[in-house]
């Protein structure tokens, strides 16, 4: 008898206030950071950095919501939302960007549509 095909359930991960991690984090689920991460966060889901959260390094994810402090290179496939309490320094690459009044941002931002088909020239 073969193994039953069961769908993989995405997990929700939480790093609490007062906790710090130095190193890389990879997840197939959502991640909420209320502590401090120094390193790379790679998630196929959503990354939320709470108001007490801080990330120094790099973030690669599908969606992100930032209330805390980032010193990062961040690559978000869909929506990056900077809340009023956020303080972001670094390089942003995202599909869509939402910035609330009061949010602080210093750095570069490039918007890309990952799902947009390539446009071929008429000479091909």
Domains of the chain by residue range? 13-96
- pLDDT digit string (tens) for 63-121? 999 999 999 999 999 999 999 999 999 999 999 999 999 999 999 999 987 654 444 44
Burial class (CB in 10 A: 0-12, 13-18, 19+), 87: middle
Kindly state the helix (H) or strand (E) to which residue 32 belongs, with its residue range: strand 30-33
Give the global pTM.
0.81
Torsion angles phi and psi, residue 8, rounded to 5: -75, 125
pLDDT for res 6: 47
Under the banding of pLDDT at 50, 70 and 90, the label for residue 2 is low
**d(C-alpha 64, C-alpha 23), whole Å:** 20
Q: Does residue 44 surpass a pLDDT of 70?
A: yes
- Based on C-alpha coordinates, what's the Rg of the chain? 17
Q: Look over the chain and give the mean of its residue pLDDT values, rounded to a whole number.
A: 87
**d(C-alpha 27, C-alpha 8), whole Å:** 12
Neighbours of 36 (CB within 10 A): 19
Q: Does residue 17 surpass a pLDDT of 50?
A: yes
């Amino acid at each position: 008898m073969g193994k039953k095909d069961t769908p993989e359930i995405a997990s929700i991960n939480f790093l609490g206030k007062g906790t710090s991690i130095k190193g890389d984090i990879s997840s197939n689920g959502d991640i909420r950071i209320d502590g401090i991460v120094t390193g790379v966060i790679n998630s196929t889901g959503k990354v939320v950095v709470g108001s007490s959260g801080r990330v120094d390094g790099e973030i690669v994810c599908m969606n992100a919501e930032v209330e805390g402090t980032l010193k990062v290179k961040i690559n978000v496939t869909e929506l990056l939302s900077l809340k009023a309490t956020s303080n972001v320094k670094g390089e942003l690459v995202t599909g869509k960007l939402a910035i609330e009044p009061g949010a602080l941002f210093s750095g570069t931002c490039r918007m890309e549509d990952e799902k947009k088909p390539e446009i071929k020239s008429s000479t091909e």
